[in-house]
Amino acid sequence: MLRISVPHPDPVNGRGGCVELMLARHTESLDIACTLATMGEGFIAGLDIHENDPNRLIPACLLIRQISGLRSLCLLAVNGFYTEAIGHQRTLMEALARITALAGKPDLLHDYLAQDVLNTNKLLEDILSFRSDWGPDIPREPPDEELRERIAAGHVWLEGFRNTHGRRARDIKTFDWAQTGGVAHLLFGRFVIASEALHFSPKSLDHLLVTDGDRLEAVRIGPEDEDLDHLILSSCKYVFVGIQTLANILAVTVPDDIDVLYRHFEALYERRADEAARATPNGLPTAVSAHLWAPLSTMCRHPAFPDLPSQR
Protein backbone atom coordinates (compact mmCIF):
# COMPACT_ATOMS: atom_id res chain seq x y z
CA MET A 1 0.00 0.00 0.00
CA LEU A 2 1.51 3.34 -1.07
CA ARG A 3 1.85 6.16 1.41
CA ILE A 4 0.30 9.46 0.31
CA SER A 5 1.36 12.53 2.25
CA VAL A 6 -0.28 15.96 2.41
CA PRO A 7 2.20 18.44 3.96
CA HIS A 8 1.76 22.12 4.89
CA PRO A 9 -1.95 22.33 5.81
CA ASP A 10 -3.26 25.84 5.17
CA PRO A 11 -6.86 27.19 5.08
CA VAL A 12 -6.32 29.02 1.75
CA ASN A 13 -4.36 26.80 -0.63
CA GLY A 14 -2.37 24.44 1.54
CA ARG A 15 0.89 26.21 0.73
CA GLY A 16 1.49 28.70 3.56
CA GLY A 17 4.53 26.96 5.00
CA CYS A 18 5.97 26.38 1.53
CA VAL A 19 5.74 30.07 0.62
CA GLU A 20 7.76 31.13 3.66
CA LEU A 21 10.38 28.48 2.93
CA MET A 22 10.71 29.34 -0.77
CA LEU A 23 10.88 33.08 -0.16
CA ALA A 24 13.70 32.57 2.34
CA ARG A 25 15.58 30.00 0.28
CA HIS A 26 15.46 31.79 -3.09
CA THR A 27 15.54 35.43 -2.05
CA GLU A 28 18.17 36.57 -4.55
CA SER A 29 16.56 34.97 -7.60
CA LEU A 30 13.09 36.20 -6.69
CA ASP A 31 14.42 39.69 -6.02
CA ILE A 32 15.99 39.82 -9.49
CA ALA A 33 12.76 38.58 -11.11
CA CYS A 34 10.58 41.09 -9.24
CA THR A 35 12.96 43.96 -9.95
CA LEU A 36 13.24 43.00 -13.61
CA ALA A 37 9.46 42.89 -13.98
CA THR A 38 9.09 46.32 -12.37
CA MET A 39 11.91 47.85 -14.42
CA GLY A 40 10.64 46.25 -17.62
CA GLU A 41 7.15 47.65 -17.10
CA GLY A 42 8.65 51.06 -16.35
CA PHE A 43 10.71 50.86 -19.54
CA ILE A 44 7.61 50.14 -21.62
CA ALA A 45 5.57 52.85 -19.87
CA GLY A 46 8.16 55.44 -20.87
CA LEU A 47 8.18 54.57 -24.56
CA ASP A 48 6.65 56.72 -27.28
CA ILE A 49 4.35 54.29 -29.10
CA HIS A 50 1.42 55.38 -31.27
CA GLU A 51 -1.77 53.43 -31.83
CA ASN A 52 -1.33 53.61 -35.62
CA ASP A 53 2.11 51.96 -35.54
CA PRO A 54 1.44 48.21 -35.09
CA ASN A 55 5.07 47.30 -35.82
CA ARG A 56 5.94 48.91 -32.50
CA LEU A 57 2.69 48.40 -30.63
CA ILE A 58 2.45 44.62 -31.06
CA PRO A 59 6.02 43.82 -29.89
CA ALA A 60 5.48 46.11 -26.89
CA CYS A 61 2.28 44.23 -26.01
CA LEU A 62 4.10 40.91 -26.39
CA LEU A 63 6.76 42.11 -23.96
CA ILE A 64 4.05 43.16 -21.48
CA ARG A 65 2.63 39.64 -21.69
CA GLN A 66 6.09 38.17 -21.23
CA ILE A 67 6.72 40.24 -18.09
CA SER A 68 3.30 39.29 -16.71
CA GLY A 69 4.25 35.68 -17.40
CA LEU A 70 7.40 36.09 -15.32
CA ARG A 71 5.40 37.48 -12.40
CA SER A 72 2.83 34.67 -12.52
CA LEU A 73 5.54 32.02 -12.88
CA CYS A 74 7.15 33.28 -9.67
CA LEU A 75 3.79 33.14 -7.87
CA LEU A 76 3.31 29.53 -8.94
CA ALA A 77 6.86 28.57 -8.00
CA VAL A 78 6.93 30.04 -4.49
CA ASN A 79 3.59 28.36 -3.73
CA GLY A 80 5.15 25.00 -4.55
CA PHE A 81 3.52 24.56 -7.95
CA TYR A 82 6.85 23.79 -9.56
CA THR A 83 5.62 21.61 -12.44
CA GLU A 84 2.90 24.13 -13.28
CA ALA A 85 5.53 26.90 -13.25
CA ILE A 86 7.68 24.93 -15.69
CA GLY A 87 4.69 24.65 -18.03
CA HIS A 88 4.11 28.36 -17.65
CA GLN A 89 7.70 29.07 -18.72
CA ARG A 90 6.69 28.04 -22.22
CA THR A 91 4.64 31.24 -22.55
CA LEU A 92 7.76 33.33 -21.97
CA MET A 93 9.57 31.42 -24.72
CA GLU A 94 6.67 31.74 -27.14
CA ALA A 95 6.47 35.48 -26.58
CA LEU A 96 10.23 35.86 -27.07
CA ALA A 97 10.13 33.88 -30.33
CA ARG A 98 7.53 36.25 -31.75
CA ILE A 99 9.13 39.47 -30.51
CA THR A 100 12.49 38.58 -32.04
CA ALA A 101 10.95 37.37 -35.31
CA LEU A 102 8.98 40.59 -35.71
CA ALA A 103 12.18 42.52 -35.01
CA GLY A 104 14.05 40.62 -37.69
CA LYS A 105 11.25 40.62 -40.28
CA PRO A 106 8.63 43.33 -39.59
CA ASP A 107 6.54 42.19 -42.58
CA LEU A 108 5.67 39.04 -40.59
CA LEU A 109 3.33 41.19 -38.52
CA HIS A 110 0.52 40.54 -41.03
CA ASP A 111 0.99 36.78 -40.64
CA TYR A 112 1.10 37.11 -36.85
CA LEU A 113 -2.25 38.90 -36.89
CA ALA A 114 -3.69 36.14 -39.08
CA GLN A 115 -2.80 33.33 -36.66
CA ASP A 116 -6.01 33.62 -34.64
CA VAL A 117 -8.18 33.13 -37.74
CA LEU A 118 -6.06 30.24 -39.04
CA ASN A 119 -6.01 28.47 -35.67
CA THR A 120 -9.72 29.02 -34.98
CA ASN A 121 -10.77 27.71 -38.38
CA LYS A 122 -8.64 24.61 -37.97
CA LEU A 123 -10.06 23.95 -34.51
CA LEU A 124 -13.67 24.40 -35.65
CA GLU A 125 -13.13 22.16 -38.67
CA ASP A 126 -11.67 19.48 -36.38
CA ILE A 127 -14.73 19.73 -34.13
CA LEU A 128 -17.09 19.28 -37.10
CA SER A 129 -15.04 16.30 -38.30
CA PHE A 130 -15.15 14.74 -34.83
CA ARG A 131 -18.95 15.18 -34.69
CA SER A 132 -19.54 13.77 -38.16
CA ASP A 133 -20.54 10.30 -36.93
CA TRP A 134 -22.60 11.48 -33.96
CA GLY A 135 -26.23 10.41 -33.85
CA PRO A 136 -29.03 13.02 -33.80
CA ASP A 137 -29.67 12.33 -30.10
CA ILE A 138 -26.26 13.74 -29.04
CA PRO A 139 -26.51 17.46 -28.22
CA ARG A 140 -24.18 19.78 -30.11
CA GLU A 141 -23.16 22.95 -28.34
CA PRO A 142 -22.55 25.23 -30.09
CA PRO A 143 -24.62 23.90 -33.03
CA ASP A 144 -22.86 22.69 -36.18
CA GLU A 145 -24.46 25.46 -38.23
CA GLU A 146 -22.97 28.12 -35.96
CA LEU A 147 -19.52 26.56 -36.36
CA ARG A 148 -19.92 26.50 -40.16
CA GLU A 149 -20.89 30.19 -40.12
CA ARG A 150 -17.78 31.06 -38.10
CA ILE A 151 -15.59 29.02 -40.45
CA ALA A 152 -17.12 30.79 -43.46
CA ALA A 153 -16.45 34.18 -41.84
CA GLY A 154 -12.86 33.12 -41.27
CA HIS A 155 -12.47 32.14 -44.94
CA VAL A 156 -13.81 35.55 -45.98
CA TRP A 157 -11.22 37.23 -43.74
CA LEU A 158 -8.43 35.06 -45.14
CA GLU A 159 -9.53 35.80 -48.70
CA GLY A 160 -9.33 39.50 -47.88
CA PHE A 161 -5.80 38.93 -46.58
CA ARG A 162 -4.88 37.22 -49.85
CA ASN A 163 -6.32 40.05 -51.94
CA THR A 164 -4.47 42.65 -49.88
CA HIS A 165 -1.07 40.96 -49.67
CA GLY A 166 -1.06 38.91 -52.85
CA ARG A 167 -0.50 35.63 -50.99
CA ARG A 168 -2.07 33.30 -48.47
CA ALA A 169 -1.63 33.86 -44.75
CA ARG A 170 1.07 31.55 -43.42
CA ASP A 171 0.52 29.28 -40.44
CA ILE A 172 3.78 29.84 -38.52
CA LYS A 173 4.82 27.54 -35.67
CA THR A 174 6.74 28.60 -32.58
CA PHE A 175 10.07 27.15 -33.71
CA ASP A 176 9.70 28.91 -37.07
CA TRP A 177 9.26 32.19 -35.22
CA ALA A 178 12.28 31.35 -33.05
CA GLN A 179 14.52 30.50 -36.00
CA THR A 180 13.53 33.69 -37.78
CA GLY A 181 14.29 35.68 -34.63
CA GLY A 182 17.63 33.98 -34.03
CA VAL A 183 16.66 32.56 -30.64
CA ALA A 184 15.96 28.91 -31.48
CA HIS A 185 18.97 27.87 -29.39
CA LEU A 186 17.30 29.42 -26.33
CA LEU A 187 14.21 27.26 -26.77
CA PHE A 188 15.64 23.85 -27.61
CA GLY A 189 15.43 21.54 -24.61
CA ARG A 190 13.66 23.93 -22.28
CA PHE A 191 10.67 24.26 -24.63
CA VAL A 192 10.27 20.48 -24.72
CA ILE A 193 10.48 20.25 -20.91
CA ALA A 194 7.91 23.03 -20.53
CA SER A 195 5.61 21.38 -23.06
CA GLU A 196 5.79 18.07 -21.19
CA ALA A 197 4.65 19.81 -18.01
CA LEU A 198 1.93 21.74 -19.82
CA HIS A 199 0.46 18.71 -21.59
CA PHE A 200 0.55 16.23 -18.67
CA SER A 201 3.10 13.87 -20.18
CA PRO A 202 4.05 10.80 -18.09
CA LYS A 203 7.42 12.42 -17.38
CA SER A 204 5.69 15.42 -15.80
CA LEU A 205 4.37 13.08 -13.08
CA ASP A 206 7.88 12.26 -11.83
CA HIS A 207 7.79 15.02 -9.22
CA LEU A 208 4.85 13.31 -7.53
CA LEU A 209 6.70 10.04 -6.98
CA VAL A 210 8.93 9.32 -3.95
CA THR A 211 11.34 6.52 -4.78
CA ASP A 212 14.19 4.61 -3.17
CA GLY A 213 16.24 3.34 -6.09
CA ASP A 214 13.82 1.46 -8.32
CA ARG A 215 11.24 1.11 -5.55
CA LEU A 216 8.24 3.44 -5.42
CA GLU A 217 7.62 4.33 -1.77
CA ALA A 218 5.01 7.06 -1.84
CA VAL A 219 2.97 9.48 -3.90
CA ARG A 220 3.31 13.09 -2.81
CA ILE A 221 0.45 15.57 -2.61
CA GLY A 222 1.38 19.16 -1.91
CA PRO A 223 4.21 21.60 -2.58
CA GLU A 224 7.15 20.56 -4.72
CA ASP A 225 10.41 21.58 -3.05
CA GLU A 226 12.59 21.95 -6.12
CA ASP A 227 15.49 24.17 -7.19
CA LEU A 228 13.64 27.32 -8.13
CA ASP A 229 16.80 29.29 -8.84
CA HIS A 230 17.35 27.84 -12.28
CA LEU A 231 13.67 28.07 -13.23
CA ILE A 232 13.46 31.71 -12.16
CA LEU A 233 16.81 32.83 -13.57
CA SER A 234 16.32 31.09 -16.92
CA SER A 235 12.91 32.80 -17.13
CA CYS A 236 14.53 36.16 -16.40
CA LYS A 237 16.91 35.48 -19.27
CA TYR A 238 14.02 35.40 -21.76
CA VAL A 239 12.73 38.73 -20.45
CA PHE A 240 16.14 40.38 -20.62
CA VAL A 241 16.42 39.38 -24.28
CA GLY A 242 12.83 40.53 -24.88
CA ILE A 243 13.56 43.97 -23.43
CA GLN A 244 16.70 44.38 -25.52
CA THR A 245 14.83 43.25 -28.63
CA LEU A 246 12.08 45.82 -28.15
CA ALA A 247 14.75 48.47 -27.58
CA ASN A 248 16.33 47.44 -30.89
CA ILE A 249 12.97 47.70 -32.70
CA LEU A 250 12.38 51.19 -31.33
CA ALA A 251 16.04 52.27 -31.73
CA VAL A 252 16.28 53.25 -28.08
CA THR A 253 18.80 52.41 -25.35
CA VAL A 254 18.05 49.98 -22.58
CA PRO A 255 17.98 51.96 -19.30
CA ASP A 256 21.14 51.84 -17.21
CA ASP A 257 19.33 50.33 -14.21
CA ILE A 258 18.35 47.31 -16.32
CA ASP A 259 21.95 47.00 -17.49
CA VAL A 260 23.12 47.02 -13.85
CA LEU A 261 20.49 44.42 -12.95
CA TYR A 262 21.70 42.24 -15.81
CA ARG A 263 25.23 42.28 -14.37
CA HIS A 264 23.79 41.18 -11.02
CA PHE A 265 21.76 38.47 -12.76
CA GLU A 266 24.82 37.26 -14.67
CA ALA A 267 26.93 37.05 -11.51
CA LEU A 268 24.22 35.13 -9.61
CA TYR A 269 23.63 32.77 -12.51
CA GLU A 270 27.34 31.93 -12.78
CA ARG A 271 27.58 31.48 -9.00
CA ARG A 272 24.61 29.13 -8.92
CA ALA A 273 26.05 27.16 -11.85
CA ASP A 274 29.37 26.82 -10.03
CA GLU A 275 27.61 25.70 -6.84
CA ALA A 276 25.65 23.09 -8.81
CA ALA A 277 28.87 21.74 -10.31
CA ARG A 278 30.66 21.57 -6.96
CA ALA A 279 27.70 19.81 -5.35
CA THR A 280 28.12 16.77 -7.63
CA PRO A 281 30.59 13.90 -7.15
CA ASN A 282 34.21 14.86 -7.90
CA GLY A 283 33.10 18.40 -8.66
CA LEU A 284 31.92 17.30 -12.10
CA PRO A 285 28.42 18.31 -13.20
CA THR A 286 25.97 15.52 -13.84
CA ALA A 287 24.19 15.37 -17.19
CA VAL A 288 21.17 17.03 -15.57
CA SER A 289 23.04 19.90 -13.90
CA ALA A 290 25.18 20.46 -16.98
CA HIS A 291 22.04 20.75 -19.10
CA LEU A 292 20.30 23.09 -16.67
CA TRP A 293 23.17 25.40 -15.87
CA ALA A 294 24.53 25.93 -19.37
CA PRO A 295 27.03 28.81 -19.73
CA LEU A 296 25.36 32.17 -20.21
CA SER A 297 27.58 32.76 -23.23
CA THR A 298 25.58 30.10 -25.06
CA MET A 299 22.20 31.15 -23.70
CA CYS A 300 21.88 34.93 -23.61
CA ARG A 301 23.92 36.18 -26.54
CA HIS A 302 23.19 35.63 -30.19
CA PRO A 303 24.35 37.22 -33.46
CA ALA A 304 21.00 38.84 -34.22
CA PHE A 305 21.32 41.14 -31.19
CA PRO A 306 24.99 41.86 -30.46
CA ASP A 307 24.12 44.74 -28.14
CA LEU A 308 22.54 42.77 -25.33
CA PRO A 309 23.21 44.43 -21.97
CA SER A 310 26.03 41.99 -21.17
CA GLN A 311 27.99 43.06 -24.23
CA ARG A 312 27.93 46.82 -23.96
289 in any annotated domain: yes
| Bridge-based pairing state of the strands 215-220 and 3-5 | parallel
The 10s digit of each residue's pLDDT in 32-52 is 999 999 999 999 999 999 889
**What is the rounded distance in angstroms from the CA atom of residue 265 to the CA atom of residue 273?**
12
174 in any annotated domain: no
pLDDT band at 241 (very low <50, low <70, confident <90, very high): very high
What domain range includes position 94?
3-105+184-311
Q: How far apart are the first and last CA of the chain?
A: 60
Q: What is the pLDDT of residue 9?
A: 47
**What is the rounded distance in angstroms from the CA atom of residue 282 to the CA atom of residue 74?**
33
287 in any annotated domain: yes
The 10s digit of each residue's pLDDT in 70-118 is 999 999 999 888 888 988 899 999 999 999 999 999 999 999 999 999 9
Provide the number of structural domains found in the chain.
1
pLDDT band at 23 (very low <50, low <70, confident <90, very high): confident
Measured from the Cβ of residue 194, the count of other Cβ atoms closer than 10 Å reads 23
22 in any annotated domain: yes
CA distances from 126 to 86, 135, 142, 215 (A): 29, 17, 14, 43
> What is the sign, positive or negative, of the torsion defined by CA atoms of 176, 182, 187, 188?
positive
87 in any annotated domain: yes
177 in any annotated domain: no
The pTM for the full model equals: 0.82
